[in-house]
Structure 1
Amino acid sequence: MTTSRENGSLYTNIENKIATVEFGHPASNSFPSVLLDRLEAEINKFSENKEVNVILLKSEGEKAFCAGASFNELIEIDDLESGKKFFSGFANVINAMRSCNKLIVGRVQGKTVGGGVGLVSACDYAMATDAAAIKLSELSIGIGPFVIAPAVERKMGVGALAELSLAAHEWKNAYWAKEKGLYAKVFDSIEDLDKEIELFTEKLASYNPDALTQMKKTLWKNTDHWAHSLYENASVSGELVLSDFTKNALAKFKK
């Protein structure tokens, strides 16, 4: 368990072969870099834990699932190296999720933006409530969802990636996301979601762990190059965030 208002929180526990990882932050469950580092470390740790068959990824509260990367950190970037490092945070987590030996189930209770969409896309199976709308708003501030784009495209297809990215001002509802393959199921309430999550993860965790690991490898076939390409994409974003366009856009958002 780790907690602090500025750095957010990360709670983990293991029960019945299910490792629950719950992140939180006062700013709509957004991710400062230190919280992304902790999430990456927990996923890597559970990947090698023989007491874990399945990982459940969730966020705290009943509102937003994840508002993406920390806005406060984003506006402080002033050089290429720090820009690349900032955008590599989600690359590190997505690669940890990709290479993890355990299947990862996502519980999405509310709206999700930017990097949060990347996290859900990197889950092997995700369920949501009907409040779990999604948006990729990066182009509206002069950058793009380049780091998470491979995960989104793999899960939803290039057409959905284009629709999300180019209509950067539009929310897509949970049923649209389900139709495109991001969510397996959508529920009317958090209570119904949690009932199904409990049933599903317990059933999944009861299966042969070796078969689960092999299934994980099958699902992520032909993605080994992400170990390099996601960081190349982070460099693109790191350069764009230094542009006058983006600096001006961020200043307007700050106001």
Structure 2
Amino acid sequence: MMQPYVTLNIENQVGYIEFFHPEHNAMPSDNLKKLEQAIVEAEKNDAIKIVVLKSGGDRTFCAGASFKELIAIDDAKTGKQFFLGFANLINVMRKCSKLIIGRVQGKAVGGGVGLAAATDYCLATKYAAIKLSELSLGIGPFVIEPAVSRKMGQTVMSQMTINAEQFFTAKFAKEKGLYADVFDTVEALDEAVKILAEKLASYNPEALKEMKDVFWKDTAYWDELLIERAEISGNLVLSTFTKETLNRFK
């Protein structure tokens, strides 16, 4: 079985950040931290003009939080710390002065939807269905809600949250603003990502930075908000309902 990894590779002034986990690209704390550090590294590297966020494997972009780690949480402090991993990553993506293009080749669940929503421009395949399963597990998509609501609107966020066991199609995600375009194959997706990223990398970096600031205006309060949301999730993961539900997945 392949080991989890996070890599950063530079090609034609584009920084390709790739993450992988053998459990459907689930996100344990260490991978979240490495991904956050990779974004910071790309931010500081003058050789990188545009960032692409992608995952390894075929049909799953990201399965969200690691169930194994969630099951092991036994106190509120640890719970909050785990969900701060997603909060910190979203905030780092938000604050990164370089545009981040999302490349979503397959299904995105929970935190995976949040990652896609936190990119500045997201492209996907027709296999990239999305689901917010958190309510069915006894928690809720509290940390990712600001990013998803910003990109797709609060009404759609509510609809997906309440229909927690339903996958919504990639076509739906495009219609609601999460994906800018959807492709039939991974090959077509990769070609489109490459063309767009390299084209953007040739633009005035100062103009790109100023536009990113405009895109994310009025979100400075997320620093505090996402900490509060991580605390809510960290407490809920300790509930009897959540523990019993998660244990079914052991």
Please report the TM-score for the alignment, with normalisation by the length of structure 1. 0.96
Matching residue within 56, 62, 79 for 2:58: 62
- Cα-to-partner distance string for 1:100-121 (whole Å, 9 max, x where unaligned): 0100000000001000000000
**SS at 2:60 equivalent:** coil
Matching residue within 245, 248, 252 for 2:241: 245
Cα distance in 1 for residues equivalent to 2:249 and 2:209: 43
Q: How far apart are 1:17 and its partner, in Å?
A: 1.2
Match of 1:25 in 2: 21
**Correspondence 1:174 to 2:174:** no
Matching residue within 218, 226, 229 for 1:230: 226
Q: How far apart are 1:253 and its partner, in Å?
A: 2.6
Cα distance in 2 for residues equivalent to 1:67 and 1:41: 20
Q: How far apart are 1:165 and its partner, in Å?
A: 0.4
Cα distance in 1 for residues equivalent to 2:59 and 2:166: 19
Cα distance in 2 for residues equivalent to 1:244 and 1:61: 34
Q: How far apart are 1:7 and its partner, in Å?
A: 6.6
Q: How many residues of Structure 1 are paired with residues of Structure 2 in the alignment? A: 250
Q: How far apart are 1:74 and its partner, in Å?
A: 0.4
Please report the TM-score for the alignment, with normalisation by the length of structure 2. 0.98
**SS at 1:62 equivalent:** coil
Ranges in structure 2 where 5+ consecutive residues have no aligned partner = none
> Any conservation in 1 of the 2:64–2:109 contact (CA below 8 Å)?
yes
Runs of 4+ in structure 1 over 6 Å off: none
Ranges in structure 1 where 5+ consecutive residues have no aligned partner = none
Matching residue within 140, 143, 147 for 1:147: 143
Cα distance in 1 for residues equivalent to 2:122 and 2:102: 4
% identical equivalent positions: 55
> Any conservation in 2 of the 1:7–1:32 contact (CA below 8 Å)?
no
Match of 1:113 in 2: 109
Residue identity opposite 1:83 in structure 2: G
Match of 2:183 in 1: 187
Match of 1:10 in 2: 6
Cα distance in 2 for residues equivalent to 1:109 and 1:45: 24
Residue identity opposite 1:140 in structure 2: S
Residue identity opposite 1:153 in structure 2: S
**SS at 1:107 equivalent:** strand
Measured on the aligned residues, the alpha-carbon RMSD in Å equals 1.1
Match of 2:125 in 1: 129
**SS at 2:165 equivalent:** coil
